[in-house]
Structure 1
Amino acid sequence: MLKTLRAPGASSDLAERVADPRSACASPDDLSRNIFGLLGIPVDALDFPSLLRSMDLATRAGSPFLISTPNVNFLVKSQNNRTFRESILLSDLCLADGMPLIWIAKLLRIPIHERIAGSDLFGRLKSANATGRRLRVFLLGGAEGLAATVGAKLNAKKGGLECVGVLNPGFGTIEEMSSPKIVDEINASNADLIAVFFGAEKAQVWLLHNHWRLRAPVRAQFGATIAFEAGSVRRAPPMLRSTGFEWLWRIKEEPYLWRRYWNDGRALLAMLVTCVLPLMLSERRMRNLNKLSIARSDDHGSMTLALSGAAVAAYVDGAIEQLRDALDSGKRVIVDLSNTQYIDARFFGLFLMVRKQLASRGQKLLFTGASADLRRIFRLNRFEFLLSQEV
């Protein structure tokens, strides 16, 4: 079957860990997300009202809903830490928490315009009627005493958040911090939201490790938000945050952070030179691309979708329809790239969502036929790991 699309104007261990029979109905269809692949990670293009609506729907549904907040530190860590990267790829929403990500998106013509920082999200949730009702929140982690301070502040006001529990599990391995006692205490609170204040890597892995053990539907890592809310660290003024130089203020407030920002800055500069600039040049050369068509063939155990032409945003709606049908078939999904001219950030985002859906049932997204030029596009976008699962 041939269909022409008209323009409408995991590491396996982590994937298996989150695979669960309930996952088929646990969250809305990931393919409906307006998501883009940005230098190896997914980023959703959405605004605060849309985010709050998604959180409210997840809370009412009572199904696990993991929110990740990628910033430059996330981006850098994801390049070399497969487990950390998988925690982002398997999330239900990925928010651009960092102005440099917005700048890169602009350079690559990716329509992600609004920074949604974890600290700003927490502030919105505190506001009365932010989601239409008061959310019960469990505060996990942070320096000694900070969570209790913030919990008391939340409960002293009739805002959008009610603190129903605080816990500082101290230091230890993921397994030690996931003991039945800790998980039972969190679950007994009947929280709607678990706000985690570990370091980025530990928080993400902890959340994935306990994905099906936790009862609270919405979970997210909020980083330094606990210190801002407790008043132990002052957050940068809004003007400085909007210019992208919040990191200078953070170093002033917490001098020990200079090394992290130095290392992240150097890694980001390298990605700009080796990935972003070549991608900008590649896109300018791709002016006369063919319209995308998809030929579908299937046998007893697999369904193959052969993409011919340009896999770009203008044709994504038709591709979503075809890929959704492939997923619904329950068969092994193979994407044939033999005649694909180009893949843009929107299609990389779509492939990541298909990969996520397949991972939830213990399957893998397979590719075949990628040319040398197309492999270069995968590499420049930092998605060469997708091609590790080739037929």
Structure 2
Amino acid sequence: MRKQERVLGVNFDVVDESQALNILIDFLEKKSVVRSVYTPNPEIVMLAQEDRDLYRILKEADLVLADGIGVILASKIKGLELKDRVTGVDTMDKLLQYCGKNKKSIFILGGKPGVAELACKNIDKKYPGIQIAGYHHGYFMEAEEPEIIHTINEAHADILFVCFGAPKQEKWIDKNKSKLNCAIAMGVGGSVDVYAGVVKRAPVAFQKLGLEWFYRLLKEPTRLKRMMVLPKFLIKVIVTKE
């Protein structure tokens, strides 16, 4: 039975990495309807406070993972049961491993021109047995969507990874999932850049401490304004009665 906890109105599934993977495998093997999977961090939760469409999309998702140490801190503050940070990139990695071992297929949509292609080449090398159904960059006009969706469906991908960044990817999946015939449509943001080698992930020590955000800030000081959402998020958690 699905168990969720609410953080500022956004429902998160109470799962660890292993449980999340098992749920995704179940989605993958049953392949009855397209399952939407999102990984909100504090920034996305804060966006959902004002963006009612995004709020609805997260509420209606088939799996919502706590990607962000801030969400786990909020859980501790409120005495909730969210104890494990389950990141999009780590979950994607485990899913790709499963796809390699079981010859499942993927399609990557997003990133700058050439990035998705490079990510797929690297994934193909890293996970023997995986089927690369296709890829397409994220720089397209709305009028091109029907053709892109046709391409995805013709590729018969089991999993569609959408890498537009939030909230664009969540809204795109929600808008188009009734037209897709894959088993899973998952928003994974900048993961495409990590697999392409365009962006280097934080060292393991930073990952284990939940300080990837700090590592990225050190590498990209221009992100400071965006990072200021974390203290605002925690203050709102403390003063909001739920």
TM normalised by structure 1 equals 0.58
Question: Deviation per CA, 1:358-383, whole angstroms, max 9, x where unpaired?
Answer: xxxxxxxxxxxxxxxxxxxxxx23xx
Show the 5 A alignment for 1:160-309: 161-172=130-141, 175-176=142-143, 179-262=145-228, 264-275=229-240
How far residue 156 of structure 1 moved from its aligned partner, in angstroms, is 2.6
Say if 2:4 and 2:13, in contact at 8 Å, map to a contact too.
yes
Helix, strand or coil for the counterpart of 1:36?
strand
Say if 1:64 and 1:218, in contact at 8 Å, map to a contact too.
yes
Provide the rounded CA distance (Å) in 1 between the counterparts of 2:238 and 2:164.
32
1:205 is aligned with what amino acid?
Answer: K
Bigger shift: residues 135-144 or 244-253: 244-253
Question: Deviation per CA, 1:233-276, whole angstroms, max 9, x where unpaired?
Answer: 111112212323221211233333222112x134214313422x
Say if 1:97 and 1:115, in contact at 8 Å, map to a contact too.
yes
1:170 is aligned with what amino acid?
Answer: Y
Provide the rounded CA distance (Å) in 2 between the counterparts of 1:148 and 1:170.
14
Residue equivalent to 1:147: 116
Say if 2:70 and 2:230, in contact at 8 Å, map to a contact too.
no
How far residue 171 of structure 1 moved from its aligned partner, in angstroms, is 4.7
Residue equivalent to 1:82: 52
Provide the rounded CA distance (Å) in 1 between the counterparts of 2:158 and 2:91.
15
Based on CA coordinates, which of the two structures has the bigger radius of gyration?
1
CA RMSD of aligned residues (A): 1.9
Change (3 A) 1:124 1:115: same
Point out where structure 1 has 5 or more consecutive residues left out of the alignment. Answer: 1-31, 276-379, 382-391
How far residue 176 of structure 1 moved from its aligned partner, in angstroms, is 3.4
Change (3 A) 1:258 1:75: same
Change (3 A) 1:171 1:132: closer
1:39 is aligned with what amino acid?
Answer: L
How many equivalent pairs are there?
A: 241
Helix, strand or coil for the counterpart of 1:85?
helix
Point out where structure 2 has 5 or more consecutive residues left out of the alignment. Answer: none
How far residue 181 of structure 1 moved from its aligned partner, in angstroms, is 0.5
How far residue 192 of structure 1 moved from its aligned partner, in angstroms, is 0.7
2:230 is aligned with what amino acid?
Answer: G
How far residue 212 of structure 1 moved from its aligned partner, in angstroms, is 0.6
Residue equivalent to 2:23: 54
2:85 is aligned with what amino acid?
Answer: R
Provide the rounded CA distance (Å) in 2 between the counterparts of 1:194 and 1:131.
15
- Alignment counterpart, residue 110 of structure 1, candidates 63, 68, 80: 80
Change (3 A) 1:60 1:227: same
Say if 1:234 and 1:253, in contact at 8 Å, map to a contact too.
no
Say if 2:68 and 2:85, in contact at 8 Å, map to a contact too.
yes
2:52 is aligned with what amino acid?
Answer: R
How far residue 159 of structure 1 moved from its aligned partner, in angstroms, is 3.6
Say if 1:125 and 1:161, in contact at 8 Å, map to a contact too.
no
Helix, strand or coil for the counterpart of 2:199?
coil
Provide the rounded CA distance (Å) in 1 between the counterparts of 2:227 and 2:129.
33
TM normalised by structure 2 equals 0.92
Richer in helix (by share): 2
Change (3 A) 1:258 1:248: same
Provide the rounded CA distance (Å) in 1 between the counterparts of 2:129 and 2:14.
25
Question: Deviation per CA, 1:96-132, whole angstroms, max 9, x where unpaired?
Answer: 10111111112222111111100111221233x4796
